[in-house]
Amino acid sequence: MDAEEIAKSAALEHRHWWYAARRALVRRTVRAWPAGRAIDVGCGMGGNTAVLRELGWRAVGVEYTDTGAGIAAARGIPVVRGDGRRLPVADASVDLVMSTDAWEHIDDDRAVARETARVLRPGGRALIAVPAGMALWSGHDVALGHVRRYERQQLADLATGAGLVIDDLWSWNVLLRPVVRARRRNKHAAESEMEDVHPVLNAGLRAALAVERALPVRRLPGVSLVLLAHRPVPGQSKR
């Protein structure tokens, strides 16, 4: 993602339905876990890192771009410049590695998965979110600098290939997938969809994602995939 796109996202982050729903997803997923040391790989402007810190985690963002790291630091979020393929973090030193909408930007995602496993303590958790389905590939992905969108088995294989044990893998933003697919079918130019949304529509889109939580749709195709995994404890059987 280039500097212009990062700056545009930063301006939208606090009010746009997508970012708000993603922060809510992080909060719901993590709030019951004992807080410890965490890193947010590809933290961007630091919105999700801030959620971890609000929940009591000693969370630090790891960001590749100067622009993203600068915005996060200006917001008071601890951040270090770093590459997800070579994390500036010691072996087995963190309780949580979070990475939301970052792996799809990186050519060698196997290296990112291996690094995630390396820095986790035994029993430590990974929370990964990525865009789902090459059927949704469009100019939006090009504009954001995506290398790929993920299929469910592809993401599962990445995690297990790195030595992680999968606890859950589900689809997110399922109800809106038909709308997204129809919109992107008609778009060919490299054009981001991250733009201001009318407040009424913004509230409606957030409501759709809230309703989705009560429906049995997590195994259906969605716009995103969410993976929970952990580094196994030596001597404990994998399940």
Give the residue with greater pLDDT, 143 vs 111: 111
Helix, strand or coil, per DSSP, at residue 37: strand
Residue 189 in this model has a pLDDT that exceeds 80: no
pLDDT tens digits, 81-116: 999 999 999 999 999 999 999 999 999 999 999 999
153-156: long-range pairs with CB below 8 Å, 24+? 155/128, 155/130, 155/225, 155/227, 156/227
Residue 201 in this model has a pLDDT that exceeds 90: no
Helices 47-54, 17-30: crossing angle, 10 deg rounding: 30
Helix or strand run (H / E) with residue 127: strand 120-131
Threshold 0.95, pTM exceeds: no
pLDDT value of residue 55: 98
Q: What percent of the chain has pLDDT over 70?
A: 90
Residue 78 in this model has a pLDDT that exceeds 60: yes
pLDDT value of residue 29: 97
Q: Using only C-alpha atoms, what is the Rg of the chain?
A: 17
pLDDT tens digits, 190-200: 565 667 778 89
